[in-house]
Structure 1
Amino acid sequence: MAARRKADRIHLDWFNVSYQTLLLAGLAILAVSVLGTLYLMGYLGGGTHPRAEAYRAIRGADRLLERAVATSAPEELKPLRQKARSRLGEARQALAESSFGVAEQAALESQQASRLFLARVEGKNSIAAVQFYKLEGKVQVKKARQLIWKDATKKLRLGAGDQIKTGSSASAQIIYFNGSITTIKPGSILEIKELFDDPDSRIQQVRERLRTGRVVSSTLPMSVDGSFHELSTKNVTVQATGRSQFETRFDELNAGTSVGVYQGSAVVKSGGRERRLRGREQVSVDSKGALSATVKLPPTPTLLEPMDQKIFTVGADEQGSQIELLWEDMELPGTYHLQISANSLFGHLLLDKKDVTSIRVKLPPTEPGSYYWRAAFQTPNGLESAFSETRKFKVLTGRVMNVDDTIPPQLVIDDFMVFSTQVIVRGHTESGAILEANGKKVDVGDDGSFTIIVRLRKEGRNRVRFVAQDAAGNETVVDRFAEVKVYS
């Protein structure tokens, strides 16, 4: 925190100053002091002023360093505590020089060092974890205090201060230690601002900053009061404290933000005002921080045919298979928005048609491969619903099944990582095999690879059973176990 300035000496002539004058002067000083405190704490201007963010980060770093200093540790861990102290000193100096961005970043790094110190004292090798769940297309990462963007990999561990950038036909999903998932849409830049995971109080907090583009945030029920998932732009802060799904868009050119809540609820804050949005509600915020009226979004259509993971076969001499897509009739004035992609995050679209008037679409002859599809509903005045759940179908070249095949398919679990009450699983099986995890179908890539999230059902030991079946009916079963300490 910046050192206080030495107070100027004020000489008063007690014989010429009346009691009323002293009272008025005292009230004026008190008002200035209160306003100054409010400004520093970010209550003026919606809480997103750079000074307020730096001040908050420094306070958090100070509290964590106090815990670290009060904790005895072996010699090999003391440099980590010293790093936290050094970064906090840099943050305070930068705040005094009004370099708010530098101050905030140094404070967040101090927090990270203190948390890692405390975690290692307790025998843990890591702190609040952030991991890529899915990557599609050109996705890059710029680590904290670095200037170079590097290509993202699924194994890369993320932390506070890291930024993720998606190309124009790329998307990414990241999963946090509390089970929240953020989907970063094409042409976006997202920064992980702050992570807090206190094992004693069980309070878990995530703060993100959307610098440009759009993201969809999906959160789980929070374990205790004080936990939240927060996303901010230049002029808006959106916070969820329970199960929710919301989309945030930020246009860097005109500094406008729109927030739409699809499930649950979230609080939108801007310009000193706040508003709670519930399912299917949307609000826009202009560059000056003014909130628009809340609008109701239309309902989402339900997909009907084909069923998920449907396989279509064509003869080797045929050009392709003709497939029909069918979804629920909303029985409202408007049109439908249909998207088809070769990837589950829809970063690169094979079809993006917004003026579909029918609920049944017949696709042209389709080449062998895997395809994902979804649909949304649009009103005549341009409001669009959330997209439906995603379904997948596969087109295969017809082949005769080998009835003599008695060899079970390969099934390998490469990664099995617990995040709160979920586990993220990566693995591979035989190409063309059908895979289930705890009885639910799993999306398997054409090369046999898969990435899934499995919800753990109870506190304590949970079994996750994987069953792979090949075209001849041979099965392979793999059981893995995950421990949940506190179920929320």
Structure 2
Amino acid sequence: MRTKQPSLFEIEWLVLSKRSVYIFITLLLLGIALGSALIYFWRHGNPFKNDEATIRTGARFLSFEGDVRVVRAQTRETVQVNANTQLFPGDIVQTQTDGRARILLADGSTLLVRPNSVVTIRDNQIIDGGQQTNVRVAVERGQINVRTEEQTDKTNNIIETRLTESRLAAQTGASFGVREDNTEDIRVSTGSIETTTRSGEKTVIRAGEYLAINQMGNIARREHLLDVPIPTAPRDLERIIVRAGSSSSIVLRWQRPSTGTPAYYRVEVATSPFFVATGKVIERDQLTSTEFNVGELRPGVYYWRVCAVAPSGQVSEWSEPQKFSIIVAQDSARLVVWDVETEYVAGNIYIVRGRTQPGNTVRIAGRETLAARDGSFRLQVAIPAGTRELSVEAEDSQGHRERYRFPIGERSR
């Protein structure tokens, strides 16, 4: 039986048909992909343009002291802040009892986070090539101070708390406090703030005004701002010399607040600039005079601060801590500086740490500080680019000086 062989025409037709099917399938897949892309662009816009137009910048720490931590939004990991730490939307800043931090945000404003505070960076981005900036910070606990710079019409700087949402104008200085009893207060020293409370009240707080918000989110009190008393003595970094084996009596003095009428003052003296409980030496309340005598202070390094209380109960912010030292008269023994190390922060900013005799004044790059009771010192300084050595000068209570040079970036002994 003979089998019929296919003709050449039939073979060519079969090959041509398969090729057409492959081409058709390929074109169909390309069409589906193109259609999907067009639908995405129509619904969501150009993703590449969005990357160029919106820049989610990392807020950065200008300075920090003590225990400051960051909880990352993406991983929920808690990290200790260092010189290279950046903050991104959703990150949480936590300051402990001995911690505080100053943060630079996308619109050029600065945020000072006080001790025992919890703050979330909700938004921090630049849009449309710098034409618009969005900054939003939420205060969950504690106190922050905010200062804004010049702004465009498209700048949004918003502070949230549990009870309020506030929009800050340009050139505004203000503080926001969230207390443990779920009450809050807002102080405006310069500029103005548009505030909406949880109860729906809207108001504008202007320079020199104070607002207290109760637990229900209502404005409980509005009055003139009670300003901070100004410390006058002892001056910051002042040295008080005593004889060996003796103590000293110190008179603390301050000026009345420039605005507001205080009913009385509170004063604290401590061995820590954060006035933690274990470091407090003196606490006095209900002081009606602008001076207070502190007796029997032993040689060492101390810090003091003062605040005012109005008849209404409004409490001013604390004054900046003033540092003074009580030191024993020394002979002319040679001053020594050792254990010096530098830590890079950013730009030309470094933190310099080291040791010398207790109570010595240490000067580095135009700044100075007093060595603590254990002889340690710490300074944040600006060092010009290209500088290889650091000049450190130590001076004792009798005016004797010694100058040392240490390499930058290396631990020196």
After TM superposition, is the score higher than 0.5?
A: yes
* Structure 1 position 377 matched with structure 2 position 308: yes
Instruction: Quote the residue 2:323 is aligned against.
Output: 392
Taking structure 1 as the reference length, what is the TM-score of the superposition?
A: 0.59
1:3-402 alignment, distance < 5 Å: 65-68=47-50, 115=56, 127-131=57-61, 133-137=63-67, 139-147=68-76, 149-153=78-82, 155-167=84-96, 169-177=97-105, 178=108, 180-186=110-116, 188-197=117-126, 200-201=129-130, 203-211=132-140, 213-222=141-150, 224-251=152-179, 254=182, 256-271=183-198, 272-318=200-246, 320-329=247-256, 334-348=263-277, 350=280, 351-402=282-333
More helix by share: 1
Q: Is the 8 A contact 2:196 2:202 kept in 1?
A: yes
Relative to 1, partners in 2 of residues 1:197 and 1:283: Cα closer, same or farther, differing over 3 Å?
Answer: same
> What amino acid does structure 1 have at the position aligned with 2:194?
V
Identity %: 16
Q: 1:468 to 1:218 in 2, by over 3 A?
A: farther
Query: Residues 258 and 284 of structure 1 are in contact (CA less than 8 Å); yes or no, is this contact kept in structure 2?
Result: yes
Contact 1:136 1:347 in 2 (8 A): no
Deviation for aligned residue 1:198 = 5.3
Q: Deviations over 1:393-432 (max 9, x none)?
A: 12234322336x6x888976532525xxxx7542235533
Query: Structure 1 residue 144: deviation in Å?
Result: 0.9
Greater fraction of residues in strand: 2
Amino acid at match of 1:294: R
Shift of 1:293: 4.7
Preserved contact between residue 100 and residue 114 of structure 2 (Cα < 8 Å):
yes
Cα drift, residue 236 of structure 1: 0.8
Distance 1:417 1:265, change over 3 A: farther
Q: CA deviation at 1:291?
A: 3.0
- Range with greater deviation from structure 2 (213-222 or 329-338): 329-338
Matches of 1:375 and 1:399 in 2, distance apart? 32
Cα distance, 1:353 vs. partner? Answer: 2.7
Q: Secondary structure at the match of 1:474?
A: strand
One-letter code aligned to 1:135: E
Q: Which amino acid aligns with 1:295?
A: E
Which SS does the other structure have where 2:353 is aligned?
A: strand
Quick one: distance in 1 between partners of 2:215 and 2:321? 34
Q: What SS does the aligned partner of 2:248 have?
A: coil
* Larger Rg, first or second structure (1 or 2): 2
Q: TM-score, normalised by structure 2?
A: 0.69
| TM-aligned CA distance change 1:374 to 1:436, over 3 Å | farther
Structure 1: 5+ residue runs without aligned partners? 1-61, 72-110, 116-126, 455-460, 481-488
The answer to whether the 8 Å contact 2:138/2:159 transfers is yes
Q: Which runs of 5+ in 2 are unaligned?
A: 1-43, 409-413
RMSD: 4.0
Q: Which amino acid in the other structure matches residue 351 of structure 2?
A: R
Point out the more displaced range, 423-432 or 300-309. 423-432
Q: Aligned pair in 2 of structure 1 residues 367, 179: CA closer, same or farther (>3 Å)?
A: farther
1:313-349: CA deviation from partner (whole Å, max 9, x where unpaired): 334433x332221112569561111123333344556
**Residue identity opposite 2:102 in structure 1:** I
Q: In structure 2, what is the Cα distance between the partners aligned to 1:335 and 1:215?
A: 23
CA separation of 1:147/1:303 partners in 2, compared to 1, >3 Å: closer, same or farther? same
2:119 is matched by which residue type in structure 1?
A: L
Whichever residue aligns with residue 61 of structure 2, its letter is Q
* CA shift for structure 1 position 232: 0.4
Paired residues, number = 346
| Compared CA separation, residues 244 and 409, structure 1 to 2 (3 A) | farther
CA separation of 1:156 and 1:239: change in aligned 2, threshold 3 A: same
Question: Is contact 1:246–1:262 with CA below 8 Å preserved after alignment?
Answer: yes
Q: In 2, distance between residues paired with 1:63 and 1:397?
A: 72
2:393 corresponds, among 469, 474, 485, to: 469
Q: 2:58·2:86 contact (CA, 8 Å) conserved in 1? A: no
